[in-house]
């Protein structure tokens, strides 16, 4: 048998079509092998069996050659006419054999008559008809950015159904910045690919990496397939938060209330998600400020959490931290400057104070030193200090913050005893704050006022015969000063009153100013005193003033009238003669009486108390004239006895009686005979003559002795006071009016001469006697009008007045219309 080697002719590579034909001797077992590439078009020639099997067309026809396949597939058809094998159906090697190589089709060509079997093998060779491919178009990866270089990520291999060269030969990854490709052969010869990280990822730089993996086969032309690899970089907490500023500066007014947002800090973290979340806090070591400020951990808002006070702390430095969830931190500093507000009033403090100050302090005296402070700064702390302008004080700035309060005027405690000095300190803030401080400054007293009496002269009245120790009046002085300077003591100023020290008459209570009479006064001797009382205060030196006190003694009816005429003698009888021829209204005599009292107490009235014959005489009520009221007759007895009572007008009244003997006779002998044998006298003589004479003698002796003694004493005193009065020795002698009083022409006036002119009415109360002034010193001028214009010399002779009162009274005695002016006459006619 012959083995044919057939050469399959292929278009591109002719040499590949050389087929080795093996001729097998046994014809029945003839076997031909062909080789064709896959995917040949239908009808393409596979081989010529006529040649290769040595058959001819006739035989093919007679043998009814046909192709027999075991599986019935009909990829290859037989063209019996030409004796060729052609492709009858598309042959896909990959479908036919998958990856088995070589890949062959086996069939039999069967001939009949005789039966002939020819085995044909057609080897299907691969052509690069498939490109490598991946099962997905895209492939996503998630890689944490913190992955270390060398990390491996396996990739899906591509597939290529072709075989041998035509299948995948290489892979390529692009770009390869971070990853490179690694092809790993397994021990069983299979390969897989993986991606190896060779440069660290940074999510913050690039979050997504787009890579392309391309697989190449070895065919010609080469084919490739690629897949997109999406690498998503997962965040790792690899970034710390970062504050937006390394130092934050903020200013806050000091009155910022709690909760005021003063600042918002921000820190950014480049990480993502929870790694990006930042928590803000104060650094541990800034605890002092953290009580005043509150940091919101999430928002970074810083708020005021306490009370700020510029005056305490002007600036805070707070360290703050931002921390992310991973514990990475950043720190920063917040400088908080507290700004001043005018929230402090000035404070006034008194460093020293002189209180009280004496009222004689000179202007400019420092009263107080002040320190005025304002805690605020700038204009808020600048202070103006002033006081009310109407005060006699002023404020002077001595140095910064120190002021002195000084007096600016003369002070007078008596007008303003204290001053309320309100010091106002005001700062220059807006609005300004001010503070007041009031100093209650007392002015202490200086003895600059003397005691003052309300009047220069005060008058007191006291009735004579007062009891010693009686209070006359009280003088009161006032002193405008105070305290001891106003404590007044009263003193009687020493002077001489009637030759005696004033203190012999009066005393003054030093405390109360009460003036007391030391002794009893007699109006008849002294009518008034004038003393001076001094008021002296207790200052040092003391000041004083004085007041004149006039004490007027007031009369009391303490003296009864004194009958001057007719003289009452003890034994002898004096009688008035009335001629029997006397007419009606004949002036028999005149009862003359005086009263040393004055005023009403000296107004005398005369009344007939008893009379021998009431029908014959009457007494003038006011003038004491005794007149006949009818014609005297012979029947009228010679001896007439009248009792006249003289009364003064005092309350109660005092009186005196006088017996007037009237002899109604024409001749003196007649009278004598009548009066010698007075039966009344006889009786006396008979019974008591002896005793009376004895008693009279004794009494007379005593009286005269007393009189002599008294007179001697008086004379001695007068002489000592160099007062001389010639007639003193005669006193007191009751004047005797001889009976030569004669009726001067029926007017009833007495012919008498006086040195005083008496003008008056019939009313003795209205008498006005004017005395001429021829009297030498020592004689008396009595002014019955009771005026105060007493001649000066009278004061000196006041003590004498007591003694000579009878004389003065004598001048006043004539009651009605005496008009004689010749003092000589007076002297001559009066009988001393
Ligand atoms: C001073 O103030 C005191 C107390 O407020 C008051 O009693 C007094 O009358 C005031 N004096 C003057 C002079 O205003
Ligand atoms: C009495 O006071 C007056 C003024 O009031 C003064 O002139 C006189 O000197 C004073 N007399 C005496 C004794 O002090």
pLDDT digits (tens, 9 = 90+) for 22-58: 333 334 456 888 889 888 888 888 888 888 888 888 8
Ligand 1 site: residues with CB under 6 angstroms? 418, 420, 440
Is pLDDT at 806 greater than 60 in this prediction?
no
Four-residue CA torsion sign, 198, 202, 203, 207: negative
Q: Which pLDDT score, from 0 to 100, does residue 453 have? A: 94
* Nearest ligand to the CA atom of 419: 1
Query: What is the C-alpha to C-alpha distance for residues 551 and 38, in angstroms, rounded to an integer?
Result: 181
Q: Which pLDDT score, from 0 to 100, does residue 442 have? A: 92
pLDDT-derived band of residue 722, with 50, 70 and 90 as boundaries? Answer: low
Give the H/E segment covering residue 229. strand 224-234
Is pLDDT at 236 greater than 70 in this prediction?
yes
CATH superfamily of 347-356+363-436: Cadherins (2.60.40.60)
- Span 237-339: which CATH code? 2.60.40.60
For domain 457-554, which CATH number applies: 2.60.40.10, 2.60.40.60, 3.40.50.2300, 1.10.260.40?
A: 2.60.40.60
pLDDT for 67-118, tens place per residue? 888 888 888 888 878 888 889 888 888 888 887 878 888 888 888 888 888 8
* Nearest ligand to the CA atom of 443: 1
Is pLDDT at 477 greater than 90 in this prediction?
yes
- Span 2-125: which CATH code? 2.60.40.60
What average pLDDT does this structure show over 288-315?
A: 86
- Span 131-235: which CATH code? 2.60.40.60
Q: Which pLDDT score, from 0 to 100, does residue 290 have? A: 65
Compute, in angstroms, the gap from residue 498 CA to the centroid of ligand 2: 22
Is pLDDT at 496 greater than 60 in this prediction?
yes
Query: What is the C-alpha to C-alpha distance for residues 30 and 54, in angstroms, rounded to an integer?
Result: 10
Flag the least confident range among 125-134, 388-397, 763-772.
Answer: 763-772
pLDDT for 498-540, tens place per residue? 888 999 999 999 999 999 999 999 998 889 999 999 999 999 8
Query: What is the C-alpha to C-alpha distance for residues 177 and 187, in angstroms, rounded to an integer?
Result: 30
Are domains 2-125 and 562-678 of this chain identical in fold? yes
Four-residue CA torsion sign, 601, 604, 605, 611: positive
Compute, in angstroms, the gap from residue 393 CA to the centroid of ligand 1: 17
pLDDT-derived band of residue 783, with 50, 70 and 90 as boundaries? Answer: very low
Every domain of the chain and the residues it spans = 2-125, 131-235, 237-339, 347-356+363-436, 457-554, 562-678, 740-832
Q: Is pTM, for the whole model, over 0.85?
A: no
Compute, in angstroms, the gap from residue 356 CA to the centroid of ligand 1: 15
**550: preceding bond cis by omega (within 30 degrees):** no
- Whether the Cβ atoms of residue 823 and residue 772 lie closer than 8 Å to each other: yes
Residue of the nearest CA to atom 2 in ligand 2?
546
What is the full DSSP assignment across 574-590? -EEEE-TTPPTT-EEEE
Burial of 72: CB neighbours in 10 Å, binned 0-12, 13-18, 19+:
exposed
pLDDT for 593-644, tens place per residue? 999 888 888 899 999 998 888 888 999 999 999 999 888 888 888 888 889 9
pLDDT for 150-198, tens place per residue? 999 888 888 888 887 888 888 899 888 889 998 888 888 777 888 899 9
Substitution candidate for ligand 1 out of 440, 441, 442, 443 with most atoms within 8 A of CB: 440
Q: Mean pLDDT in the chain?
A: 79
Is pLDDT at 736 greater than 70 in this prediction?
no
- Span 562-678: which CATH code? 2.60.40.60
Check residues 767 and 665 and name the one with the higher pLDDT: 665
Identify the top-confidence range among 5-19, 463-477, 782-796: 463-477
Q: Which atom of ligand 2 is nearest to the CA of 545?
A: 2
pLDDT for 263-284, tens place per residue? 999 999 888 888 888 999 988 7
Residues forming a β-bridge with 418: 442
Compute, in angstroms, the gap from residue 472 CA to the centroid of ligand 2: 22
Residues forming a β-bridge with 593: 563
């Amino acid at each position: 048998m012959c083995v044919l080697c057939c050469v399959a002719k292929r278009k591109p590579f002719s040499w590949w079509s050389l087929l080795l034909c093996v001729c097998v001797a046994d014809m029945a077992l003839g076997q031909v092998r062909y080789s064709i590439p896959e995917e040949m078009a239908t009808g393409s020639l596979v081989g010529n069996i006529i040649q290769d099997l040595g058959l001819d067309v006739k035989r093919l026809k007679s043998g009814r050659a046909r192709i027999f396949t075991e599986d019935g597939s009909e990829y290859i058809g037989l063209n019996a006419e030409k004796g060729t094998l052609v492709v009858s159906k598309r042959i896909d090697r990959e479908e036919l054999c998958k990856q088995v190589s070589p890949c062959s089709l086996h069939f039999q060509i069967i001939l009949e008559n005789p039966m002939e079997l020819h085995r044909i093998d057609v080897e299907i060779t691969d052509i690069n008809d498939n490109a490598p491919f991946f099962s997905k178009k895209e492939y996503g990866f998630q890689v944490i950015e913190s992955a270390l270089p060398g990390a491996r990520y396996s990739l899906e291999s591509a597939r290529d159904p072709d075989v041998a060269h035509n299948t995948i030969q290489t892979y390529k990854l692009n770009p390869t910045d971070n990853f490179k490709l690694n092809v790993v052969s397994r021990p069983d010869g299979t390969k897989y690919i993986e991606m190896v990280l060779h440069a660290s990822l940074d999510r913050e730089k690039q979050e997504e990496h787009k890579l392309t993996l391309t697989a190449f086969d070895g065919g010609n032309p080469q084919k490739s397939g690629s897949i997109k690899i999406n690498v998503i970089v997962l965040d790792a907490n690899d970034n710390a938060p970062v504050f937006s500023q390394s130092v934050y500066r903020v200013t806050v007014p000091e009155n910022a209330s709690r909760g005021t947002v003063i600042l918002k800090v921000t820190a950014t973290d480049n990480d993502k998600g929870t790694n990006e979340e930042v928590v803000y806090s104060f650094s541990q070591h800034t605890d002092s400020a953290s009580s005043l400020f509150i940091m919101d951990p999430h928002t970074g808002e810083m708020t005021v959490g306490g009370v700020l006070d510029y005056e305490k702390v002007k600036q805070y430095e707070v360290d703050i931290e931002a921390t992310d969830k991973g514990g990475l931190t950043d720190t920063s500093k917040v400088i908080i400057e507290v700004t001043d507000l005018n929230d402090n009033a000035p404070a006034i403090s008194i460093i020293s104070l002189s209180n009280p100050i004496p009222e004689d302090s000179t202007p400019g005296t420092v009263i107080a030193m002040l320190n005025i402070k304002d805690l605020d700064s700038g204009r808020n702390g600048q202070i103006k200090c002033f006081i009310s302008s109407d005060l006699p004080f002023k404020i002077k700035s001595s140095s910064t913050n120190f002021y002195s309060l000084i007096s600016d005027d003369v002070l007078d405690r008596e007008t303003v005893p204290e001053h309320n000095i309100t010091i106002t300190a005001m700062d220059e803030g807006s609005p300004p704050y001010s503070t007041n401080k009031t100093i209650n400054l007392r002015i202490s007293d200086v003895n600059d006022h003397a005691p003052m009496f309300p009047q220069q002269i005060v008058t007191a009245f006291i009735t004579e015969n007062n009891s010693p120790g009686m209070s006359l009046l009280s003088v009161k002085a006032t002193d405008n000063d105070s305290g001891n300077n106003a404590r007044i003591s009263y003193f009687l100023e020493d002077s001489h009153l009637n030759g005696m020290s004033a203190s012999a008459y009066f005393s003054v209570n030093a405390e109360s100013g009460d003036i007391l009479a030391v002794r009893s006064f007699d109006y008849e001797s002294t009518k008034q005193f004038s003393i001076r009382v001094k008021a002296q205060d207790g200052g040092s030196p003391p000041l004083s003033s004085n007041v004149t006190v006039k004490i007027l003694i007031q009369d009391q009816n303490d003296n009864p009238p004194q009958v001057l005429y007719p003289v009452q003698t003890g034994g002898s009888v004096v009688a008035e003669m009335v001629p029997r021829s006397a007419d009606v209204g004949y002036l028999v005599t005149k009862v003359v009486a005086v009263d040393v009292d004055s005023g009403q107490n000296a107004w005398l009235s005369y009344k007939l108390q008893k009379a021998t014959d009431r029908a014959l005489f009457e007494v003038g009520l006011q003038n004491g004239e005794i007149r006949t009221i009818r014609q005297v007759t012979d029947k009228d007895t010679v001896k007439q006895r009248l009792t006249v009572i003289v009364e003064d007008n005092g309350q109660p009244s005092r009186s005196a009686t006088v017996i007037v003997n009237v002899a109604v006779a024409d001749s003196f002998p007649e009278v004598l005979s009548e009066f010698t044998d007075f039966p009344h006298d006889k009786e006396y003589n008979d019974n008591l003559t002896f005793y009376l004479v004895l008693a009279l003698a004794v009494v007379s002796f005593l009286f005269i002795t007393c009189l002599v003694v008294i007179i001697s004493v008086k004379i001695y005193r007068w002489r000592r006071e160099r007062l001389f009065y010639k007639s003193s020795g005669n006193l007191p002698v009751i004047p005797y009016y001889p009976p030569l009083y004669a009726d001067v022409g029926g007017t009833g006036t007495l012919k008498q001469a006086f040195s005083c002119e008496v003008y008056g009415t019939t009313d003795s109360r209205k008498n006005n006697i004017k005395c001429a002034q021829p009297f030498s010193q020592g004689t008396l001028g009595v002014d019955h009008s009771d005026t105060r214009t007493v001649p000066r010399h009278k004061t000196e002779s006041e003590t004498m007045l007591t003694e000579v009162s009878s004389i003065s009274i004598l001048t006043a005695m004539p009651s009605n219309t005496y008009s004689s002016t010749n003092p000589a006459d007076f002297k001559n006619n009066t009988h001393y």
